Structure 1
Amino acid sequence: MIIGTGCAIPGIMATRTIKDVRQRRTTIMLTPFMPCGAKLPVIALFAGVFFNDAAWVGTSMYFIGILIIFIGASIVVRITGEKAKKSFFIMELPHYSIPSIKRALRSSFSRGQAFIVNAGTIILLCNVIVQIMQTFTPSFNLVLEDAASSSILALISTPFAVILLPLGFGVWQLAAAAITGFIAKENVVGTLAVVYSITNFIDTEELVLVSGANSISEIMGLTSVAALAYLVFNLFTPPCFAAIGAMNSEMESRKWLWGGIGFQLSMGYIAAFLTYQIGTLITTGNMGIAFIPGLIAVLTMISFIYYLMKKGDKKIKEEVAQSA
């Protein structure tokens, strides 16, 4: 999981050293909850614009990730019916030797270049597609300046925006950015820049100087609490497609894969809901918008998880009875 803070993919692949299949799959499922390097631009943007570069924003995201991993591990272990047993890890280490600086630099350069090319290609392609979808209507006519909600992107994102309303950010622009974030988390910042037509979105120092009706918080229509909830949602929902592909290859089970994706989505939604609703209650004295529908959705998720946990407990009792 420490490896996963750089990128979830090598963290997932590192679970191959875990001998027990269930423990390995559980670790694979939980590793993406650690914020990786791809999520740092999102953290930096929201910390700079909404929280005046407060250091606690980024730090708290890592602690929330660790907390979710502990809670998630206890839940998954009960769902899978895994017995409490000791697991020993033995690995033969190679002889230590001084590495070749030339080879290390060459390897670092080639891998860094490959990452920049691959990540840049995905981000550029997604932003081009988002720009095209925002420019045209479903009949492929140009979108009028004051009718952005008639674009292809708006029509696709609006149903998702309704689902996200209890989290404090039920607008199609933010929903579109969250959707592209499932492809690659770096896309969130780029998509927000496209849908809000902000050319200098990366320069947070310049953005915070903009005030009044033209401030980023006003343009995006987010309070600080809603911005924090949006950040939590993007960080703790399922990772990028590449990481999901790694989960698929390492888990070797479609059932576990879809269960993991559903679990990650549920945990991210619940965490964002609690962040927004509790934060709004503390700051305003009232619950946030769409509290009742959101509460119903969250209770439904929790009830289903509880049902799976009870089913797992029953499985443990049956195994204990058979071994007695």
Structure 2
Amino acid sequence: MAIKLALAGNPNCGKTTMFNDLTGANQYVGNWPGVTVEKKEGKLRGHKDVVVTDLPGIYSLSPYTLEEVVTRDYIMNEHPSVIMNLVDGSNIERNLYLTTQLTEMGIPVVIALNMMDVVRKNGDRIDTQKLAAALGCEVVETSAVKGEGSKQAADRAVQIAQEGRRTLPKHTFAPVVEEALERIQNLTAELVPAEKARWYAVKLFERDGRVLDQLKLSAETAGKIEEAIAACEKAMDDDSESIITNERYQYVARVVRNCVHKNRTGMTSSDKIDRIVTNRILALPIFAVVMFAIYGIAMGGYSFSIGTMGTDWANDVLFGELVPGAVDAFLGTLGVSGWLYGLIQDGIVAGVGAVLGFVPQMLVLFLLLAILEDVGYMARVAFIMDRIFRKFGLSGKSFIPMLVATGCGVPGIMASRTIEQDRDRKITIMTTGFIPCGAKMPIIGLFAGAVFGNSPWVATSAFFIGIAAVIISGVMLKKFRVFAGEPAPFVMELPAYHAPSPGNVLRATWERGWSFIKRAGTIILLSSIILWFLQGYGVAEGVFQAVEDNNDSLLAVIGNGIAWIFAPLGWVGDMAWKAAVATITGLIAKEEVVNTFGVLYQYAGGADLLEDSHDIWAAIGADFGVMSAYSFMVFNLLCAPCFAAMGAIRREMNNARWTMGAIGYMCLFAYVTSMIVFQLGGLITGEASFGPGTAVAAVLLAGIFYLLFRRGYQGEDIIRMSAVETAEVKA
């Protein structure tokens, strides 16, 4: 029978690093049954019969968030053989709260005391023998980021599971509470498994509704339990749930006092860095500089812009000479010509090559973001943005999904489930798609190269436009009744800074990059074929045939049918229908925007990829002005996301009307923003002249300012409305 080893711990305790170290490439990802929370499982290295499950990072087993519910239900219903509880040794007091709950579950627990390298560096000492005795379970020192102790901890957990040992809970609470819990255990002895008696007693003491419903207690038993709880509450002068929480913290404090010896000679290195990095005045400028440097290295036009160098080589040499040349020679040996030759070279090679040419920039960007995440800086960014978000009435937790969305919008949207309040969660789902994900980076890279001279300011501005769109939307939406209310408090651990793990960084980079490449080989390949046909054939002289000018093609007919919608955004002339079609195909996958331009401009511009792919960039640059290009870029960054992300919105909203409302809001906000950018910005560059469009843009801008500064629903208004609604329901 396979041994199930569950990894449990607080967020940022090193659990993912430990999981990767224990399982290597033997991982598979799925969803928990009945919910869309991602789960990771893998085979333990050297143990074919041991399955390691990476449980969601949580602070406690109290079922307030979906992650906490998933973890608790997994431990209760899936019956893991052993739990390996990762505890951050550098922040041990906060982490042990969860430990006290896990040891009550009736399942063997082994503590992996992680980040011991940081503990030793700080000059602190932890007596693991005393700690093990106090908690009633074995403790193994580890440093997951350095690969130290992970295997020993896992092997010890497997051995304990094989021996069938279970962790016996310690007497954690005050005598009067322990007396009440013992009475509850005696009253429910025949209703619950013996090994879980302690856990059920604590949950009943807390008046956990789910447990009460599950046990179906008789009225007599329920009355006696309530008497025991009431007597304890009277003695402790507090409610039952607060009593348990306070007692746990007091117990943890006693354990830490006896087992941990802090070096109080001064601040840690992380504290010293944070005095600058998280400074109220310097934090945001430092963040802006860091993001500018990242985009400068990945997508800039400087001597150190290695991402751009790679993309230039990929466009000019790999997909400009080598691949088309090799394909041309191969097709020549087979005698392929005519429409099939055009399909392969002008459709597949031009379309897929236009997207894959940006892979070097994507990989460099993903690599740098993975380094920042592994070092611990991204946790600080969430802390920095929390202060800003809360000033505008938004939840600081909203920024975590947005950080995730820099890789892909789908997991970013799914990460919104960590937000307890439904209104804040809905706002987060509606706005997370504004953050430029990896699939949108080729759009930025294309226009940065074709129109803006590879300026890193373009990519940097795109990131901060996304953040600004989130803040503006949040402020406006919070003024409406359905979203009104104070944001939920945001509490998170700031992990100690440490050197990035090459394995973690490379794995994260490869996972994001491979996802990008896979789409180029599947959905983008298929759409390139369809686009090639639609732009290469049409009705000419009353006959359906191949056309020399793709302005006469089927695709041009479709594009011209919808291009008028985007005219106020500056999409005019011959490029109007191309821009419209590229935007629509971008709903399939955002990489499709570049793929579409690659097919259309390679054909329309008469460019030969065998000579110089920059001819396509030159054709795009000739069609788009500065503001029309920026307007196009802004619209495609802010409008409805790809179909996969829309599916994620549908799953998270769990309501068709809210889903359509979210997608509709994103499209409307993108349209209004892009119109303001072109109509008002165009007056400065000379691309737009004053007219009805400018007047409408000015009115829309005034409307945004009105929504930003108007008085919204206040706390007393919400209470009053709730009272009215209750009265109406009773009537």
Q: Report the TM range for the smaller structure's normalisation.
A: 0.7 to 0.9
Match of 1:96 in 2: none
Aligned mates of 2:702, 2:643 — CA distance in 1: 26
Aligned mates of 1:143, 1:83 — CA distance in 2: 57
Please list, as runs of the form range in 1=range in 2, the aligned pairs for 1:170-319 lying within 5 A after superposition. 170=572, 171-196=576-601, 197=603, 198=607, 200=609, 206-207=614-615, 215-218=619-622, 221-284=623-686, 287=689, 291-292=691-692, 296=696, 313=713, 317=717, 319=719
Matched, 1:63 2:464: yes
Letter in 1 for 2:408: C
| Structure 1 pair 106–227 and aligned structure 2 pair: CA distance change class (3 A) | closer
| Structure 1 pair 298–149 and aligned structure 2 pair: CA distance change class (3 A) | farther
Matched, 1:164 2:566: yes
Letter in 2 for 1:262: G
Matched, 1:77 2:481: no
Aligned mates of 2:529, 2:569 — CA distance in 1: 28
> 1:320 offset after TM fit, Å?
2.3
Letter in 2 for 1:181: G
| Structure 1 pair 165–12 and aligned structure 2 pair: CA distance change class (3 A) | same
Q: Is the 8 A contact 1:82 1:316 kept in 2?
A: no
Letter in 1 for 2:544: N
Matched, 1:141 2:544: yes
Q: Spell out, residue by residue over 1:149-182, the C-alpha distance to the aligned partner (whole angstroms, 9 max, x if none).
A: 3322111111221111111113111111111111
| Structure 1 pair 286–83 and aligned structure 2 pair: CA distance change class (3 A) | closer
> 1:299 offset after TM fit, Å?
5.6
Letter in 2 for 1:245: G
Q: Is the 8 A contact 1:49 1:216 kept in 2?
A: yes
Matched, 1:46 2:447: yes
| Structure 1 pair 91–233 and aligned structure 2 pair: CA distance change class (3 A) | closer
> 1:60 offset after TM fit, Å?
0.8
Aligned mates of 1:132, 1:78 — CA distance in 2: 49
Aligned mates of 1:79, 1:305 — CA distance in 2: 15
| Structure 1 pair 178–109 and aligned structure 2 pair: CA distance change class (3 A) | closer
Aligned mates of 2:578, 2:624 — CA distance in 1: 12
Q: Is the 8 A contact 1:49 1:207 kept in 2?
A: no
Match of 1:124 in 2: 525
Q: Secondary structure at the match of 2:544?
A: coil
> 1:121 offset after TM fit, Å?
0.8
Q: Is the 8 A contact 1:266 1:301 kept in 2?
A: no
Aligned mates of 2:492, 2:589 — CA distance in 1: 34
Which of structures 1 and 2 has the bigger CA Rg?
2
| Structure 1 pair 31–293 and aligned structure 2 pair: CA distance change class (3 A) | same
Aligned mates of 2:504, 2:703 — CA distance in 1: 54
Q: Spell out, residue by residue over 1:42-98, the C-alpha distance to the aligned partner (whole angstroms, 9 max, x if none).
A: 1111111111111111111111111111110112222353333252356899xxxxx
Larger relative contact order, structure 1 or 2 (CA cutoff 8 Å, min sep 6): 1
Match of 2:377 in 1: none
Q: Spell out, residue by residue over 1:130-149, the C-alpha distance to the aligned partner (whole angstroms, 9 max, x if none).
A: 11111222698224214x33
Match of 1:88 in 2: 489
Match of 2:720 in 1: 320
> 1:237 offset after TM fit, Å?
0.8
Q: Is the 8 A contact 2:449 2:617 kept in 1?
A: no
Higher strand share: 2
CA RMSD in angstroms, aligned pairs only: 3.9
Match of 1:10 in 2: 411
Range moving further from structure 2, 122-131 or 107-116: 107-116
| Structure 1 pair 69–296 and aligned structure 2 pair: CA distance change class (3 A) | same
Match of 2:84 in 1: none
Which runs of 5 or more residues in structure 1 are unaligned?
94-99
Q: Secondary structure at the match of 1:71?
A: helix
Q: Secondary structure at the match of 1:142?
A: strand
How does the TM-score come out when normalised to structure 2?
A: 0.38
Count how many residue pairs are aligned between Structure 1 and Structure 2. Answer: 307
Which runs of 5 or more residues in structure 2 are unaligned?
1-401, 495-500, 725-731
Aligned mates of 1:159, 1:78 — CA distance in 2: 37
> 1:183 offset after TM fit, Å?
1.2
Matched, 1:28 2:429: yes
How does the TM-score come out when normalised to structure 1?
A: 0.80
Q: Spell out, residue by residue over 1:155-212, the C-alpha distance to the aligned partner (whole angstroms, 9 max, x if none).
A: 11112211111111131111111111111111111101211225659x87x45995xx
| Structure 1 pair 53–84 and aligned structure 2 pair: CA distance change class (3 A) | same
| Structure 1 pair 115–60 and aligned structure 2 pair: CA distance change class (3 A) | closer
Aligned mates of 1:271, 1:32 — CA distance in 2: 15
> 1:108 offset after TM fit, Å?
7.4
Letter in 2 for 1:66: I
Higher helix share: 1
| Identity level (%) | 38
| Structure 1 pair 260–315 and aligned structure 2 pair: CA distance change class (3 A) | farther
Q: Is the 8 A contact 2:560 2:577 kept in 1?
A: yes
Q: Is the 8 A contact 2:484 2:714 kept in 1?
A: no
